[in-house]
Amino acid sequence: MTIHDKFSRLGTDNAPGQEVRQKPGGLEAMMRGGRLEGRPVDFSHGDVDAFAPTPGSFEVFSEGVATGGCQAYTEYRGALTIRQELAERLTTFTGAPVDGEEGMIITPGSQGALFLAVASTVTRGDKVAIVQPDYFANRKLVEFLEGEMLPVRLHYERGEGRAGLDLDQLEDAFRAGAKVFLFSNPNNPVGVVYSREEIEAIAALASRYGATVIVDQLYARLVYSDVAYTHLRAGRIEAQNVITIMGPSKTESLSGYRLGVAFGSREVIARMEKLQAIVSLRAGGYSQAVLRTWFNEPEGWMAQRIRYHEAIRNDLLKVFRAGDGIRVRTTEAGSYVFPSLPALSVSGPDFVRILRLQSGVIVTPGTEFSPFSGNCVRLNFSQDHAAAVAASERIVALVERYRA
């Protein structure tokens, strides 16, 4: 494969946060009616102004700067004392032992952890099972590494109680030789949580076929009322076959510090460190200090954050469900909703651009997440509550206006 072919498959034009690089050419001819006024909302990511970073995070960063050299330069896998502190808290959170010394790496963002984990387990020609829909970078990582993607459908629209993973298709993928299964739980973009039965089935299948599972649990702390969350690593699966990825990011509004962690298989973590040495050396030294605040927030702070998000979720679900032909599954964790829209007179990606131009609302097109999601849009509702509701009403109004 030439370098041109390799990069022509790696599009970012519709990726969240990149909208500013789009040129509006050609849309005018399709547009109907005038602008809907209202406070602009960028649903492509959470609004750290609406939800402020963890109290004390900036102070801990400042102490990191004041500490100087030993904080600026750490082992490639991150400062040992910080890894050890985290290991203890993540053991409690996930319900299975975390080895801070040999079984954990701190990375520049959870995206950094995801890249390193996949690049440390997948090479050219390797088969990888990927959920559809799932986080848009998963597919791209496999393509960049010249692996072969074996899709596994998530039938999330079939209803609550389980995420809807097609377990037969997952077994087919393992049977066809998939050596890695990569998925997010809660699922991004749908916001559903895998049931205990689904997680147990994944563990059993991965063990039977000797596959490595990389589970992106970025939103595993932001779980809503009456939802049970099951940690894959705490189940019946060999510890060396699981890598769990988390990070203080959108839930804690700490994305600006670019921090992620991966933990689990010592062998894979050792490879990830070797690779980090040539990809980015290490997560920012001073930023690493911010991890001291993680899973260490003031009493009640996280519970309140969950309550606020649940209230926004409830209102957004009402707005979308009032729209004729709009369907949306209830978000169980994280801050995404993924409504599917009725047939429109313009394509999904064009509607997304029209939304930006006519209503000041930025969403991410469903095509980023699966080939079957062209009629969906993803919203990160970690936003100012009133602004998010008003912006969702403008989406519904424009759906009405552009209905086919």
The residue ranges that bind its own copies (CB under 8 A) are 1-3, 6-7, 10-12, 15, 17-18, 20-21, 45, 47-49, 53, 58, 61-62, 64-65, 68-69, 71-76, 80, 108-109, 111-112, 114-115, 120-124, 126, 137, 140-141, 144, 146, 255-258, 271, 273-275, 277-287
Alpha helices (H) in 23-135, listed in sequence order: 57-67, 69-72, 80-94, 109-119
Considering the complex, what minimum distance in angstroms separates the CB of residue 143 from its own copies? 9
Considering the complex, what minimum distance in angstroms separates the CB of residue 161 from its own copies? 33
Considering the complex, what minimum distance in angstroms separates the CB of residue 299 from its own copies? 24
- Closer residue to its own copies, CB minimum distance, 212 or 358: 212
**Contact predicate 123/147, CB 8 Å:** yes
- Closer residue to its own copies, CB minimum distance, 109 or 164: 109
Judged by DSSP in three states, 107 sits in: strand
In 3D space, the residue among 98, 393, 45, 39 whose CA is nearest the CA of residue 253 turns out to be 45
- Closer residue to its own copies, CB minimum distance, 231 or 282: 282
Considering the complex, what minimum distance in angstroms separates the CB of residue 162 from its own copies? 29
Considering the complex, what minimum distance in angstroms separates the CB of residue 22 from its own copies? 11
Contacts of 99 (CB under 8 A, 6+ apart): 87, 263, 266
The single-letter code of the amino acid at 262 is A
Alpha helices (H) in 125-180, listed in sequence order: 136-144, 167-175
- Closer residue to its own copies, CB minimum distance, 53 or 191: 53
Chain centroid to Cα 336, Å, comes to: 9
- Closer residue to its own copies, CB minimum distance, 123 or 314: 123
- Closer residue to its own copies, CB minimum distance, 41 or 199: 41
Cα 110 from Cα 15, distance rounded (Å): 17
Q: How many CB atoms neighbour CB 119 within 10 A?
A: 17
| DSSP element (H, E) containing 128 | strand 127-132
Considering the complex, what minimum distance in angstroms separates the CB of residue 189 from its own copies? 16
Write out the two tokens for 249: 């990011």
